[in-house]
Amino acid sequence: MAGPFGATSTTGEVLAGVDLSGKRILVTGVSAGLGVETARALAAHGAQVVGAARDLDKAKGATEVVRADAKNGGGLELIQLDLADLASVRAAADALLADGRKFDVIIANAGVMACPFGKTKDGFETQFGTNHLGHFVFVNRIASLIKPGGRLVNLASAGHRFSDVNLEDPNFDHTEYTEFGAYGRSKTANILFAVEFDRRHKAQGIRAVAVHPGGIQTELGRHMTPAIVQAMIEDINRNTPPGAEPFSFKSIPQGAATSVWAAVIAPADEVGGLYCEDCHVATPNDEPGFRGGIRAYALDPQSAKALWAKSEEMVGETFN
């Protein structure tokens, strides 16, 4: 069943009674946090998980729990993938294409958040280059491996509310860099990528969805000081509707719940091309604050097409 689930639902609750035996699912970013829990929950219900990580030694240690919890034929294999290096991205994709085995789901989970200004190996602003362009090239290169009826799940964020994409200056060459402004651009790009990927592939029965996991304390926030975190919580609570509960962090199993729900539980036609949070489709919300909802610019189909074209230009590849 697709629900009812909500903000406090866990991966265990979402997948209760679900048999994923025979499913093959790719998860990026399995060296910590949400990626490990997502892989663990899927393998525990019988899925064969391919986990991608930049640091394979770290991932091997972090995913011991995935192997320990795997049941009903579930398992895990690891591949090396550095999303901030397109040579690594292309090599990983080429290896999967050469292997030829199909996927039921790709979960683009890996990312960075609110880091100081920097550039990827290919010269792109770190957050846009890693969170969006790395996945854009990787997913499009292996799109032929997604089975009809399969799905792409892009990990986005309520952080998309910080900023729309800026296709005139994606690398902050002419605009002032801010950590969260750059993060917002990259997360909006994750959503728009799902919108356009869904449009291009739904005729083949392949759907794409973007998800917000919620506020979770993981390694993703390594660049955030306690003072920054506290200031953000206070800002969120200032914009909390009357009568609503104050903000609280989710546990990691709660944070990964929306990913697995969108991947294998929610009806494809109900989530395809959309943005989900707390195990449901988010409603439009252009009001200030970060307590739920999707800004209109993040689902705009013309913006999604323009981002796709700009991304192809930036990486020097065309994907049909």
- The domain limits of the chain are 11-224+250-315
At 1 the pLDDT is 45
Who's near 276: CB < 8 A, 6+ residues apart? 209, 210, 211, 212, 258, 261, 262, 266, 282
pLDDT tens, 175-207? 999 999 999 999 999 999 999 999 999 999 999
Domain 11-224+250-315 indexed as CATH 3.40.718.10? no
Mean pLDDT throughout 279-283?
A: 97
At 271 the pLDDT is 98
Average pLDDT over the chain reads 93
- Percent of the chain exceeding pLDDT 90 equals 85
pLDDT tens, 112-162? 999 999 999 999 999 999 999 999 999 999 999 999 999 999 999 999 999
Is 183 among the catalytic positions? no
Cβ–Cβ < 8 Å for 111, 172: no
Type of residue at 247: F
Residue 279: count other Cβ atoms within 10 Å of its Cβ.
25
pLDDT bucket at 100, cuts 50 / 70 / 90: very high
Whether pLDDT at 260 is above 80: yes
At 230 the pLDDT is 63
- Identify the active-site residue in 177, 183, 275, 297: 177
| CB environment 156-181: b (16+ within 10 A), e (fewer) | bbbbbbbbbbbbeebbbeeeeeebbb
Distance CA 250, CA 148 (A): 33
Type of residue at 272: G
Residue 161 has which token pair? Answer: 């509310």
- Percent of the chain exceeding pLDDT 70 equals 88
3-state secondary structure of 107: strand
3-state secondary structure of 268: helix
Whether pLDDT at 229 is above 70: no
Alpha helices in the chain (DSSP H): 11-14, 33-44, 56-62, 64-69, 86-99, 126-127, 135-141, 179-201, 226-238, 252-255, 257-260, 268-271, 301-315
